[in-house]
């Protein structure tokens, strides 16, 4: 597989961007009183995912890249919660959106872990497990949050 030349080449960014667009569409039907509450929070957290993927892509160092991808994973968890809240409040059926959040989380976690693992292999035997462990924990939290 050829290396991505721009963030737009990343499948994970493409999926995150489409979910941002779909989130905007889904929140149009929320009650007007949620404009500065749940609508704003949900849109911002989802847009943050795509934006942090973009920012991480451009970073020259692998630790910096991984840091932005971890921020994106945290924003995915936040988005998942907001979607659950919207569902529980009866504003929308968000089950499909939440499953897409989970898919993006798995993809991004794997991508971040691959970058971190590559960095570990080049570190002359010095192992930094913090980022791979964080990616696994974040992936499990996404799965656990569905229950």
Question: pLDDT confidence of 3, banded at 50, 70, 90?
Answer: confident
Global confidence as pTM: 0.78
pLDDT digits over 45-90, tens only? Answer: 999 999 999 999 999 999 999 999 999 999 999 999 999 999 999 9
Mention every residue, 6+ apart, whose C-beta is less than 8 A from residue 147: none
Any idea which fold 7-144 has? de novo design (two linked rop proteins) (1.20.1440)
**Structure confidence at residue 129 (pLDDT):** 45
In contact, 89 and 21? CB cutoff 8 Å: no
Q: What is the pLDDT of residues 17-51, one digit of tens each?
A: 999 999 999 999 999 999 999 999 999 999 999 99
Distance between CA 39 and CA 46 in Å, rounded?
11
Which pLDDT does position 126 carry in this prediction?
A: 39
* pLDDT tens for each residue of 102-135: 999 999 999 999 988 865 555 444 344 455 555 5
Of 46, 50, 47, the residue nearest 14 (C-alpha): 50
The whole-angstrom separation of Cα 85 and Cα 39 is 11
What DSSP line would sit under 67-83, residue for residue? Answer: HHHHHHHHHHHHHHHHH
Length of the chain: 147
> What residues does each domain of the chain span?
7-144
């Amino acid at each position: 597989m050829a290396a991505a030349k721009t963030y737009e080449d990343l499948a994970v960014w493409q999926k995150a961007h489409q979910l941002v667009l779909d989130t905007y569409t889904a929140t149009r039907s929320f009650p007007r009183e949620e404009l500065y509450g749940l609508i704003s929070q949900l849109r911002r957290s989802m847009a943050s995912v795509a934006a942090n993927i973009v920012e991480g892509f451009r970073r020259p160092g692998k630790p910096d890249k991984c840091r932005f991808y971890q921020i994106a994973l945290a924003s995915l968890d936040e988005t998942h919660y907001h979607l659950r809240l919207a569902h529980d409040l009866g504003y929308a059926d968000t089950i499909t959106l939440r499953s897409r959040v989970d898919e993006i989380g798995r993809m991004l976690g794997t991508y971040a872990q691959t970058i971190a693992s590559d960095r570990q292999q080049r570190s002359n035997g010095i192992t930094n497990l913090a980022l791979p462990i964080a990616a696994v924990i974040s992936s499990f939290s996404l799965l656990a949050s569905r229950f």
